[in-house]
A and B are shown apart, each in its own frame.
Chain A
């Protein structure tokens, strides 16, 4: 298996009465609550935590992109990636933005990924995302065209990396007379592309059709398993070979000294992530037109059941939406999860919510020293094939 050290760079200073007092940690929570001095310290600390991943043996360190939110301090994943490029030597760096429909222009992303890839000596993985619902409120980009824009921006990027320029692009959303980016990336035909998703059918199909890597985030194991199976099906339908190393899964992981103490140590930090940091009106998460009408209607019909459950750490752990325990337990559960899902890239989020530097370091060290070695040589087979052999 491969290991990606994932980070969200959260703002850990939301007050205790935040949920009662504020309507959202996204879009509208006033930036008068942002303390630049604390922000400076957080960047230094969080970047160090990612850089440490190289010497600890992670294959990839990963940044992401969110805007106007306490959830994460990486509005520009490319800038954080550049800081990492300068402080590391060999580890790969996954940029799990860029939210291409949110920004004009995709060719700017083509240029920046090209620069990062060259300056890192070909160590960049280019994630491409639509940006989540609230971000359509922050930029004024029309959510009803989000998916169309994403797909066209992607096509334009691939063309810009693979077709000799200059050529013209006469699209629905982008019209460019001269597509001719300088510089081009080091990796050919372009850096690997990872698509983070919650797993809508149309996205799975699209990722399979384009032969990119699928990267699932923060869902219960049962859903990861279902989505992975559907994805492998689509990969086969499009004439490709399902490959565990083109499937990733990101989830919060806490490795304590032992099973007895781990849950109590992590619970408040995980619950801060799943309560305070995702606090927002449900409607803000799914702006109109952001997903297809049929999916939207389904969500509206099932919403009551989902939102009534308080996301305690125990509940999340029982669904393997997070994995908590001593080193033996975490290794065993991750291996079982990998067997069930056929996912070959694990991306633990090891700094979770309000975890301080000390707690983060301890859990990260235990993961690197006692969990990774147990799983390193293991490559999950596609789940249904192993089922047949049993």
Chain B
């Protein structure tokens, strides 16, 4: 694991390919609000390609420049990080909050994007279909809302979870975890997008799945059994199989 010398670009990780032969892709992983560095998942991604894994400003131990206040700002900020990965076509994988960041990045990276895999993405506003409130709840209620099996939640330290929760609030308190101006822009995201939802998803209303499909030119979705909101932790094998499929479908032949 190598930390990129990124100056004021902040915390990011460039992780080398660990599989046999040549890397089949450059994967940009946009983390969720549960863990800024989900080690096991990143290792599995490395078996498929070179991985760029920025830590969003304010999450984990990443600094946040004062001007970065919205998810759109995060995307603009992380363009510099992604440039460090070189000119290769990119596969974007985003989990929950990171799915929202991935959509914004894909809009900005445009032709460089081979494909996008979104895992229970936040960010899309659907009138009167609010993402559930996980904040005015006890930890037990929150865990039951977010997971089918709360035991599968990643283990993170108190300091990281405090930082992540604060950052989620900063970017998404109101309107709650959505950007009303995201949907009208998604028509410009021309790369293939695959969207996965847990069958036991209780956090994001099912109507959001339909809304993503309606807003994107080339998207498909699937519901994955055995998972609540966080497929990255509850349905990792399915996620990796879908990623392999996306990499295969979008192979550039290079």
Contacts and interface: CB of A to CB of B under 8 A. Distances in A.
Interface of A: 24, 27-28, 134, 136-137, 140-145, 281-284, 287-289, 293, 296-297, 300-301
Contacts of A281: 136-138, 141
A283 B138 contact: yes
Contact of B135 (A288, A293, A296, A297): A288
Contacts of B174: 140-142
Contacts of B133: 137
B138 A300 contact: no
Interface in B6-44: none
Contacts, number: 63
Interface residues of B, number: 20
6 smallest A-B Cβ distances: which pairs?
A144-B170, A288-B169, A288-B165, A289-B166, A140-B174, A142-B173
B169 A144 contact: yes
Contacts of B138: 281-283
A283 B165 CA distance: 11
A101 to B, nearest CB: 13
Contacts of A283: 135-139, 142
Contacts of A141: 173-174
A55 B49 CA distance: 80
A137 B170 contact: no
Most chain B CB atoms below 10 A, which of A140, A144, A281:
A144
**What does DSSP make chain B's interface, helix, strand, loop or mixed?**
helix
Given A141-B174, A297-B162, A289 B169 contact: yes
A301 B137 contact: no
26 contacts: A28-B136, A137-B136, A141-B174, A142-B169, A142-B170, A144-B167, A144-B169, A281-B136, A281-B138, A281-B141, A282-B138, A283-B137, A283-B139, A284-B135, A284-B136, A287-B135, A288-B135, A288-B166, A288-B168, A288-B169, A289-B166, A289-B170, A293-B162, A293-B163, A296-B166, A297-B159
- Grouping DSSP codes into helix (H, G, I), strand (E, B) and loop, the A interface class, with mixed when no group exceeds half, is helix
Given A142-B169, A144-B169, A137 B135 contact: yes
Interface in B132-182: 133, 135-139, 141-142, 158-159, 162-163, 165-170, 173-174
Contact of A144 (B137, B159, B166): B166
Interface string B217-233: 00000000000000000
Chain B CB within 10 A, most for which of A134, A137, A296: A296
A140 B159 CA distance: 25
A297 B135 CA distance: 17
Given A144-B173, A288-B166, A289-B170, 8 more contacts: A283-B136, A284-B135, A287-B169, A288-B135, A288-B168, A293-B162, A296-B166, A297-B162
A280 to B, nearest CB: 8
Nearest to A282: B138
A348 to B, nearest CB: 32
Contacts of A137: 133, 135-136
Given A142-B173, A144-B173, A300-B158, A293 B166 contact: yes
Contacts of A140: 173-174
B170 A293 contact: no
Nearest to A144: B170
Residue from the set A134, A145, A281 with the largest chain B CB neighbour count within 10 Å:
A281
Contacts of A287: 135-136, 169
Contacts of A289: 165-166, 169-170
A369 to B, nearest CB: 45
Contacts of B163: 293
Nearest to A140: B174
A138 B141 CA distance: 19
A288 B162 CA distance: 7
A27 B136 contact: yes
